[in-house]
Amino acid sequence: MISNVLALESLVGEQVKVVTQEPGNTAPTIIFCTIEGLDKQFLIIRSRDGVGCISLDHIITVKPLGDTPEMQEANRFIRELQSQLTPTEYNRYKEQWLPLRQTIKKIYIMRIKGGDWKQYARENFGGDAKDIIQCIETGMPPKGLFTRMDTQKVEG
């Protein structure tokens, strides 16, 4: 079983090589895929065969595939953002933060490449766009989004 589940969380959205070995199989299996998500027992992936999941108990190793310089910079930015969250904030907003950081990373890469990232954010992320833009410009986690998440939980 893979021991560092937090490291897997940082690879959500990344293209990776996963090596697995199921009980009774003598040879390991190699899967090239994108990590879509992670829960307590499974790694959720997307490969050329579609979406699937792999038991964490059967994973030997996960290796990120070569990143572009833009992806490396975006990953550095996301790690910096995440380091600013307290453990309490991270645990409280984890479900919302994991997909949100993929959105931020995508828009951040667009910024690096010189695209109209602010317009893209406004057109595709509605009310959250202002907080996403501010997050990217300041390098600070989007606290306004977290506040709205709390409000939505109370109202829901």
Tens of pLDDT, residues 91-142: 888 888 878 888 898 899 889 888 899 999 999 888 788 889 999 999 998 7
Tens of pLDDT, residues 59-82: 999 988 866 788 889 889 998 998
CB 44 within 8 A of CB 37: yes
Rounded CA gap, 95 and 102, in Å? 12
- CATH says 5-64 is which class? mainly beta
Domain residue extents for the chain: 5-64, 69-155
pLDDT(153) > 60: no
In the numeric block, which tokens belong to residue 155? 């109202």
Classify strands 15-20 and 59-64 as parallel, antiparallel or unpaired. Answer: antiparallel
**How high is the pLDDT of residue 92?**
84
